């Protein structure tokens, strides 16, 4: 796993007019680091526990780049003294690209993986595009420092990470803030774990909302080991005991911000527990996937449910023993479906199902159902009405 630290550096204003105020920052383990730039304290603190593979620092041409020197041990600061004063001087009017690159190169001798990124703070797309290009493809532990810089910059960086999580393997995210305004003898360092929890809940619920895959969101709600339950449901099984356990655990969730999520999941899982017959569960899952825009799944499930129901109408007791249900039903449909609209609905449904599954579009009327979402929606809703009528 790669450990990536993201910091923002601004201008600051101390008594002398420029730069941040020298502050003692106290971490949760009692360690204290005195520095003007909080990122330096955070880097030194994190480095006592883990190797920081990359440290990206975003700032503007007038940011207090010189303050990064506090990251280096006092014994080595003299080695950078001449360049340090040159950086200090250039910051006043705007640091040049060459000096910033030279400063980065010198700092990297003592801080491996450091990169100083001069940005236009109003170029909002830069943050996300930079991270997409530069974050490694390994599993990533991201540490976000939101202490300095323009106030809107940490928000853009945070939302950028939420988007990037879809394409990079961000396994964990921690957010730190050096709370200068809460300063007593020292300024407390706040690790904002709750944001990380919301980040996990948000991304895993998005996955569930659009795909139906629930193990990840359930894990983030404290309900473990549900992968096999999901697999059984996908395979049209009925893991009744497991579903009862999940719903019982969802009912025990008390925090409001988690409960609203739990209630939505429970409402969608409950019909799978309550429906006794396979065809009824198939219909519930067809509706479930239709609402999640997974139209092929919904089409296959509603067709199979109707087919099972028709076989039962014929008095077939051992449906699994029939090798080809479509051939078995051929010629018997008028006997089961007395009304013409039902025959037409089933015929259209079957042909659309075959065309969608096999990619074989037979005629123009079927093409409309596959090309036009509204036409397919009409067919799907008509099929649900047909199913309920058939069940009676």
pLDDT at 166 over 70: yes
Percent of the chain with pLDDT over 70: 96
pLDDT at 128 over 90: yes
Percent of the chain with pLDDT over 90: 58
Lookup: tokens for 10? 């601004």
Q: Where are the alpha helices (DSSP H) in 54-192?
A: 74-77, 81-91, 97-108, 124-134, 152-164
Lookup: tokens for 281? 């569960």
d(Cα 139, Cα 286) in Å, to the nearest integer?
Answer: 35
pLDDT at 16 over 70: no
The residue-averaged pLDDT of 106-115 equals 96
- Reported as half-sphere exposure (CB side, CA atoms, 13 A), residue 203 has a value of 20
Q: No. of H helices and E strands in the chain?
A: 18, 8
Q: Which residues of 145-177 are buried (b: 16+ CB within 10 A; e: fewer)?
A: bbbbbeeebbebbbebbbebbeebebeebbbbb
pLDDT at 15 over 50: no
Please tell me which of 213-217, 284-288, 293-297 the model is most confident about, judged by mean pLDDT. Answer: 213-217
d(Cα 116, Cα 384) in Å, to the nearest integer?
Answer: 60
Residue 383 is predicted with a pLDDT of: 95
Closest CA relative to residue 63, chosen from 99, 32, 33? 99
The residue-averaged pLDDT of 179-195 equals 87
Residue 95 is predicted with a pLDDT of: 93
pLDDT at 362 over 70: no
Give the SS3 label for residue 380: helix
Residue 392 is predicted with a pLDDT of: 79
Query: Which residues are registered as beta bridge partners of 116?
Result: 57
Lookup: tokens for 86? 């040159």
Give the SS3 label for residue 188: strand
d(Cα 173, Cα 192) in Å, to the nearest integer?
Answer: 10
pLDDT at 312 over 70: yes
Higher pLDDT, 325 or 42: 42
pLDDT tens, position by position, 132-145? 999 999 999 999 99
Lookup: tokens for 12? 């600051």
pLDDT band of residue 93 (cuts 50, 70, 90) is confident
pLDDT tens, position by position, 319-334? 777 777 777 777 778 8
To 5 degrees, how large is the angle CA 214–CA 219–CA 222? 130
Closest CA relative to residue 273, chosen from 297, 231, 223, 237? 237
d(Cα 141, Cα 136) in Å, to the nearest integer?
Answer: 11
Average pLDDT of the chain, as a whole number: 90
Higher pLDDT, 262 or 17: 262
pLDDT tens, position by position, 55-84? 999 999 999 999 999 999 988 999 999 999
d(Cα 353, Cα 348) in Å, to the nearest integer?
Answer: 8
The residue-averaged pLDDT of 267-296 equals 89
Residue 95 near residue 68, CB atoms below 8 Å: no
CATH class of 2-191: alpha beta
Residue 173 near residue 196, CB atoms below 8 Å: yes
Please tell me which of 69-83, 84-98, 196-210, 217-231 the model is most confident about, judged by mean pLDDT. Answer: 217-231
Higher pLDDT, 168 or 361: 168
Closest CA relative to residue 6, chosen from 40, 68, 56? 56
Q: How many CB atoms lie within 10 A of CB 333?
A: 14
d(Cα 376, Cα 285) in Å, to the nearest integer?
Answer: 17
Residue 165 is predicted with a pLDDT of: 85
| Domain spans in the chain, listed from the N-terminal domain onward | 2-191, 193-274, 282-392
Burial of 68 (0-12, 13-18, 19+ CB in 10 A): buried
Higher pLDDT, 276 or 219: 219
d(Cα 42, Cα 170) in Å, to the nearest integer?
Answer: 20
**Reduced 3-state DSSP string for 28-44:** CCCCEEEECCHHHHHHH
Residue 116 is predicted with a pLDDT of: 97
d(Cα 312, Cα 310) in Å, to the nearest integer?
Answer: 5
């Amino acid at each position: 796993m790669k450990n990536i630290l993201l910091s923002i550096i601004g201008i600051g204003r101390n008594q002398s007019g420029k730069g941040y105020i020298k502050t003692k920052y106290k971490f949760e383990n009692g360690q204290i680091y005195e520095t003007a730039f909080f990122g330096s304290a955070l880097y030194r603190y994190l480095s006592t526990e883990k190797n920081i593979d990359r440290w990206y620092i975003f700032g503007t041409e007038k940011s207090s780049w010189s303050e990064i020197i506090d990251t280096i041990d006092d014994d080595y600061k003299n080695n950078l003294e001449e360049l340090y004063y040159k950086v200090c001087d250039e910051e006043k009017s705007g640091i040049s690209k060459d000096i910033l690159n030279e400063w980065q190169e010198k700092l990297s001798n003592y801080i491996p993986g450091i990169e100083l990124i001069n940005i236009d703070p109003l170029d909002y797309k830069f943050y996300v595009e930079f991270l997409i290009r530069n974050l490694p493809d390994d599993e990533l532990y991201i540490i976000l420092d939101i202490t300095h810089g323009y106030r809107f910059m940490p928000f853009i960086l945070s939302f950028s990470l939420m988007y990037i999580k879809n394409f990079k393997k961000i396994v964990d995210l921690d957010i730190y803030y050096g709370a200068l305004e809460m300063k007593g003898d020292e300024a407390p360092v706040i690790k904002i774990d709750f944001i990380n929890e919301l980040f996990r809940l948000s991304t895993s619920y998005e996955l569930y909302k659009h795909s139906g895959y629930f193990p990840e969101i359930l894990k983030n709600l404290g309900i473990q080991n549900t992968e096999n339950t999901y697999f059984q449901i996908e395979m049209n099984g009925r893991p009744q005991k497991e579903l009862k356990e999940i719903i019982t655990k969802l009912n025990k969730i008390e925090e409001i911000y988690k409960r609203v999520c739990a209630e939505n999941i429970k409402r969608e899982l409950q019909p799978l527990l309550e429906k006794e017959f396979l065809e009824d569960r198939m219909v519930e899952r067809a509706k479930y996937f239709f609402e999640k825009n997974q139209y092929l799944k919904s089409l296959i499930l509603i067709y199979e449910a109707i087919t099972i129901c028709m076989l039962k109408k014929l008095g077939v007791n051992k449906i699994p023993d029939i090798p080809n249900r479509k051939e078995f039903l051929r010629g018997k449909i008028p006997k089961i479906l007395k009304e013409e609209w039902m025959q037409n609905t089933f015929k259209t449904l079957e042909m659309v199902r075959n065309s969608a599954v096999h990619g074989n579009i037979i005629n123009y009327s079927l093409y409309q159902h596959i090309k036009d979402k509204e036409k397919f929606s009409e067919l799907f809703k008509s099929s649900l009405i047909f199913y309920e009528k058939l069940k009676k």
